[in-house]
Amino acid sequence: MPDTSLLEVFENPAKGRDYVIEHVSSEFTSVCPMTGHPDFAEVVLRYVADEVCVELKALKLYYQSFRNEGIFYEAVTNLIADDLVGVLKPRWLVVETRWKGRGGISSTIRASYGEGAC
């Protein structure tokens, strides 16, 4: 079950600079709520930190907590964005999920938060 308590942070080492952090996870998997079949995605997180940065191993465990969750592409993308915005309170943040094909169709969902997100 998605679990935000897994998300740990550390203090931003360069608070005075508007720099961009990007983490690309190529091993995300959840389950289709309609068919029960597994879905596989690459998840991109890109943000400008304010006070804190997300700890990398914690991020991995948070993503793993979706492994057996039945959830739609559009919902999981917005949920991850909401969870991370809640914990990081970033200047801006983007979450992009890139899903492997189903029935010959591959999908990308991209949710952003804040001014200047790119």
- Give the active site residues: 32, 39
Question: Under 8 Å CB-to-CB from 15, ≥6 apart: which residues?
Answer: 49, 50, 51
| Lookup result for tokens 């079950």 | 1
Residue 43 buriedness (CB in 10 A; 0-12 / 13-18 / 19+):
buried
The residue (of 5 and 34) whose beta carbon lies closer to its own copies is 34
- The whole-angstrom separation of Cα 82 and Cα 64 is 17
Sketch the per residue contact string, 8 through 47, with its own copies: x for CB under 8 A, - otherwise. Answer: --x-xxx--xxxxxxxxxxx-x-------xx-x-------
Q: How far is the CB of 1 from its own copies (least distance, A)?
A: 14
Q: Which of residues 52-111 bind its own copies (CB under 8 A)?
A: 53, 56-57, 59-60, 64, 67-68, 72-75, 77-78, 81, 100-111
CB of 7 to its own copies, least distance (A): 14
Contact predicate 57/114, CB 8 Å = no
- Burial of residue 86 (number of CB atoms within 10 Å: 0-12, 13-18, 19+): exposed
Residues in the site for its own copies, rule: CB under 8 A? 10, 12-14, 17-27, 29, 37-38, 40, 49, 53, 56-57, 59-60, 64, 67-68, 72-75, 77-78, 81, 100-113
